[in-house]
Chains A and B, each alone.
Chain A
Amino acid sequence: MRYLLFFIVFAFVSECLAQKTFRFSGQFESNSQYYINEIAENIRDKQIASNNYLDLLLGYGKFEAGISAESYLPNPLLGYPIAYDKTGISKFFVRYASDKFNLTLGDFYEQLGSGLIYRSYQQREIGVDQSSFGANLHFLPTDFLRFKLIYGTPNFYFAKLDTRFYGFDSELDFQLSSASFTLGFSALLKQEKFTDKQTVQHNNSKLYSTRLSGSIKNFDIKTEYAFKTPDANVENNYNTKKGQALQISPSYSKRGFGINLNFRAILNMSVLNERELDANGNGRRDEDILNYKLNYIPSISQIHSYNIYNIYTYQAKENNEIGYSASVYYKIKRKTALGGKYGTKIRVSSSVFYTQTKIDRYTDFLKLNEKLFNEHGIEIDKKINKKFKLITQYTYQEYNKFLVEDNLENREIVYSHILVGDLLTKFNRQHSLRTELGFMFNKNDLGNWGTILLEYANSKGWSVFVSDQYNFGTEKKHYYLIGSAYSYKNARIAITYGETRDGYTCVGGICKFLPGAEALSLSLAFKF
């Protein structure tokens, strides 16, 4: 580490002698809530909660230095650990980047392969920040060969966890006649002392993965296989079995048509930065489970953007899942009988997931056991004329609440038929109104659901919306939201008032469970 630092300082002085100019940029983001309902008041000791982030980047020639500050005062938002109600520097790094070398010292984010054995990333909207502190070196000796070396300690808000990891990744591009391929290999060693002296467990866990992707004219394929030695943790019931994962994703596409399949089988692949989820002995923090993950195994099912789908969000079972997600995109050409004047876009999608093995066995790989989730749907996207654009969707869903949510009360599969209509009315180039209607016919759970949203927007960046989600079954309850947002150049402000349900809030398919709250929310973001 010391030599690497010496190298950075030496190279920086050389850059200074070359008299380059400085680059400076940054961003500020603030999300605050004022809670109105009693549940939220019972969880938080103050009615106001606020999460704030400031990132600064300074560049000089091939150098870059960055620093981030975070503040969770007077309380962090619901769903974040109350222990971190403070302000401080959370991250800093220095980086040297040339065409062949890229060296980062300090806090970094990285991914080996597709992330099956290691990925650290940031998704602040749902409180995910998995940066690690250490060293990260990229070396690109030729334009067809790439290497990565990483060493680090995972961060947890302002603290550092006791785990250490050492990782390696290599990637080689090659051609066979008209086909181009990329072959990759990654390895990672995770070291974490096992503190329970009653049982003999492994301090070290080794993870390997190999991948091959190819592109031949209109046909593409990505494959990856990962293997891990035992890593006993609270999520896998402290088992001492090996784990493996296989992912195969072929696709074919040409102008106006695309089809893809994403198959994945995972067995016993959950690896945590701290096996007991107790943040250096400060108590177990299940609400922050996403910040403890060393590798990245998200759900690969379709990601939906309409509110009605938030009732059942499928979460991947990192220790026991097999399944696929597939979609077909087709654009019917304009000026044809079915395409009309502007063309019509059709998307058909299908996702099916099963468990592979009985709970606590972790032995059967590439086998089908019990159904977790099925979903099949069709979407038609049609521009009717210059004024109207209509998107309609139908989806059939089967959701095993008992297995997906570990919900012991509900042992029957929940069946749903979902209909969505989304009409965009453009009064002219400046003013538009979006009307979204969703309905879910539901069996074996809370009953039917309906959603409505009306959103006016102008082209200068101002919008205002009102929405409602209503349960026609056992709850018979409205969840109203009203809000407005304005964006100008590099700044955005949004204000929302209303009540949300207990449930998963998802960004890009990564979902975090948040308790329901009646709140006034204000978010501010700007970049400079």
Chain B
Amino acid sequence: MKNILLGLLLIAGTTVWAQKTVPAIKIKDINGKTISSKQFGNDGKPYVLCFFATWCKPCLQEMNAFAEEYEDWNEESGFKLIAVSVDDSKSNARLKSLVNGNDWPFEVYSDANSNLKRAMNISSIPYALIIDEKRRVVYEKVSYTAGAEFELYKKFKKLINK
């Protein structure tokens, strides 16, 4: 098996490399409906993808910081955030009531066994990515400190105005 894998990697050695994109992984929306992550989008414009969990304090700080600015940014530049929760069965029963109770205005999905997180090689949360109109990852940012949402928004606006 290991030899076959090495063989496949060798065959792969000579071809063109593509930029990283969002892989197609089955996850659930907040109502429990299964969708593929390749359906993520912002009407052909870039969007921000953010991994979080309901038990992760900096993640909640980041989500609340985005929620405070969301309407203004959306109006100004068409900013869109897609938040992906990696809560498992321990805590995902409270995900929908937390999202609605906090009045978060953005889309939230559930990646309960971290399949999308793992497919994107993300080891720690919070993790934010800017995805361009061709589903390519153009900017990444691990962890959150207060005010980092403005830095991310600057990058987003720069991409929109390109």
Question: Which A residues contact B (CB, under 8 angstroms)?
Answer: 5, 9, 12, 16, 19, 21-27, 29, 53, 55, 57-60, 63-65, 67, 89, 92, 94, 97, 99, 105-106, 109-111, 114-116, 119, 121-122, 124-125, 138, 140, 143, 146, 171, 173, 180, 182, 213, 215, 220, 222, 249, 251-260, 262, 296, 298-300, 303, 305, 327-331, 342-343, 345, 347, 383, 424, 426, 429-432, 434, 457-463, 485, 487, 489-492, 508-510, 525, 527
A494 to chain B, nearest CB (A): 9
A39 to B54, CA, bound (A): 35
A60 to B148, CA, bound (A): 34
Chain B residue at minimal CB-CB distance from A256: B103
Q: Give the chain A neighbours of B134 by CB distance below 8 A.
A: none
Q: Which of these, B17, B53, B96, B115, contacts A21 with CB under 8 Å?
A: B17
Q: Give the chain B neighbours of A53 by CB distance below 8 A.
A: 123
- Excluding A111-B112, A182-B32, A220-B32, 4 further A-B contacts by CB distance (< 8 Å) are A23-B20, A55-B121, A251-B97, A490-B141
Q: Does B161 contact A (CB under 8 A)?
A: no
* 8 A–B pairs (Cβ distance < 8 Å), ordered by A: A53-B123, A92-B2, A173-B33, A251-B96, A300-B91, A457-B147, A490-B141, A508-B55
Instruction: For chain B, residues 6 to 58, give those with C-beta under 8 angstroms from any C-beta of chain A.
Output: 8-9, 11-12, 15-18, 20-21, 23-24, 26, 31-34, 36, 53-57
If A25-B120, A331-B101 touch, whether A424 touches B146 (CB-CB below 8 Å) is: yes
A298 to B1, CA, bound (A): 34
If A23-B20, A296-B89, A329-B97 touch, whether A508 touches B146 (CB-CB below 8 Å) is: no
Q: Which of these, B17, B53, B89, B143, contacts A22 with CB under 8 Å?
A: B17
What's the A-B contact tally at a CB cutoff of 8 Å? Answer: 238
Contact A426 B11 (CB under 8 A): no
A518 to B89, CA, bound (A): 34
B21 to chain A, nearest CB (A): 7
Q: Does B107 contact A (CB under 8 A)?
A: no
A65 to B11, CA, bound (A): 12
Q: Give the chain A neighbours of B89 by CB distance below 8 A.
A: 114-116, 119, 296, 298
Contact A180 B33 (CB under 8 A): yes
Q: Which of these, B1, B112, B119, B145, contacts A457 with CB under 8 Å?
A: B145
Chain B residue at minimal CB-CB distance from A298: B90
B 139-162 to A, binary, CB cutoff 8 A, 1 in contact else 0 = 111110111101100000000000
Q: Which of these, B33, B56, B140, B141, contacts A508 with CB under 8 Å?
A: B56
A485 to B58, CA, bound (A): 13
B136 to chain A, nearest CB (A): 10
A108 to B26, CA, bound (A): 16
If A253-B96, A255-B100, A432-B145 touch, whether A220 touches B124 (CB-CB below 8 Å) is: no
Q: Give the chain B neighbours of A22 by CB distance below 8 A.
A: 12, 15-18
Contact A430 B11 (CB under 8 A): no
Contact B147 A430 (CB under 8 A): yes
Q: Which of these, A12, A57, A125, A257, contacts B101 with CB under 8 Å?
A: A257
Q: Give the chain B neighbours of A254 by CB distance below 8 A.
A: 100
If A21-B18, A459-B145, A490-B142 touch, whether A260 touches B97 (CB-CB below 8 Å) is: yes
Contact B55 A305 (CB under 8 A): yes
B159 to chain A, nearest CB (A): 15
A407 to chain B, nearest CB (A): 24
A239 to chain B, nearest CB (A): 25
Question: Which B residues contact A (CB, under 8 angstroms)?
Answer: 1-2, 4-5, 8-9, 11-12, 15-18, 20-21, 23-24, 26, 31-34, 36, 53-57, 68, 86-91, 93-94, 96-103, 112-115, 118-124, 139-143, 145-148, 150-151
A526 to chain B, nearest CB (A): 8
Q: Which of these, A99, A109, A434, contacts B113 with CB under 8 Å?
A: A109
Q: Give the chain A neighbours of B103 by CB distance below 8 A.
A: 255-256, 331, 343
B44 to chain A, nearest CB (A): 22
A142 to chain B, nearest CB (A): 11
Contact B143 A489 (CB under 8 A): no
Q: Give the chain B neighbours of A509 by CB distance below 8 A.
A: 55, 90-91
Q: Give the chain B neighbours of A26 by CB distance below 8 A.
A: 121
A213 to B9, CA, bound (A): 42
Q: Give the chain B neighbours of A431 by CB distance below 8 A.
A: 147
Contact A262 B94 (CB under 8 A): yes
Contact A180 B31 (CB under 8 A): yes
A53 to B123, CA, bound (A): 10
Contact B147 A251 (CB under 8 A): no
Chain A residue at minimal CB-CB distance from B139: A489
A67 to B8, CA, bound (A): 12
Contact A485 B143 (CB under 8 A): yes
Q: Which of these, A213, A328, A508, contacts B90 with CB under 8 Å?
A: A508
Q: Give the chain B neighbours of A305 by CB distance below 8 A.
A: 55-57
Q: Which 5 A-B pairs have the closest CB atoms?
A: A329-B101, A258-B97, A459-B147, A258-B101, A253-B100
Q: Give the chain A neighbours of B141 by CB distance below 8 A.
A: 461, 487, 489-490
If A23-B18, A115-B89, A257-B101 touch, whether A492 touches B143 (CB-CB below 8 Å) is: yes
If A23-B20, A215-B31 touch, whether A257 touches B100 (CB-CB below 8 Å) is: yes
Q: Give the chain B neighbours of A5 by CB distance below 8 A.
A: 1, 4
Q: Give the chain A neighbours of B118 by CB distance below 8 A.
A: 109, 122
